[in-house]
Amino acid sequence: MPTPLAGAFVVELEPIEDERGFFARSFCQNEFRARGLDPVVAQCNVSLNRSRGTLRGLHYQAPPHEEAKLVRCTRGAIWDVIVDLREGLPTRWKSFSTELTADNRRALYVPRGFAHGFQTLADDSEVLYQISEFYHPESSRGLRWDDPALGIRWPLPEPVVSARDRAYPLLAPQR
């Protein structure tokens, strides 16, 4: 299902159910390619977050190491957020948010040129990322999760945020 930000999609499973449970394909290169999405998976990462309210992000990799991501919550629940960083588009600096849970089994496809972050809505939430590019520490960047210029509404007050994520500069002086 497309989002208001071109190229970003909420991915819904299409389960085939019987008395044992269900089976569903969560990723298919051919289906992604047919919709113009990047079907490359260079690495997969898992993030375990012990406390409700943990906030990670907003992270991205600078060119030429931009990455597309397929993000799924495999345990617990998260409020997943993306921010369009693409220059020259009317949606630059706009965000999109959606709830991903182990129960709803949705995923968010994040195209290249977007920052990504999430806040956990339950203790012990686990997130699985399929990523199109290898991690390049020298290209790692971030936006402040609480930047007033972005106006993102996070669902829980007083988040648990790393020192690194708190230290990213605000956009206002750059805009």
Question: Which residues have a catalytic role annotated?
Answer: 59, 129
Instruction: Give 142's strand partners.
Output: 59
Q: Which class for 17: exposed (0-12), middle (13-18), buried (19 or more C-beta within 10 A)?
A: exposed
Calpha distance 66→64 (Å, rounded): 6
Q: List the one residue out of 69, 75, 76, 85 whose CA is nearest residue 142.
A: 85
* Cβ–Cβ under 8 Å, residues 122 and 128: no
49, with CB counted inside 10 A (0-12, 13-18, 19+), is: buried
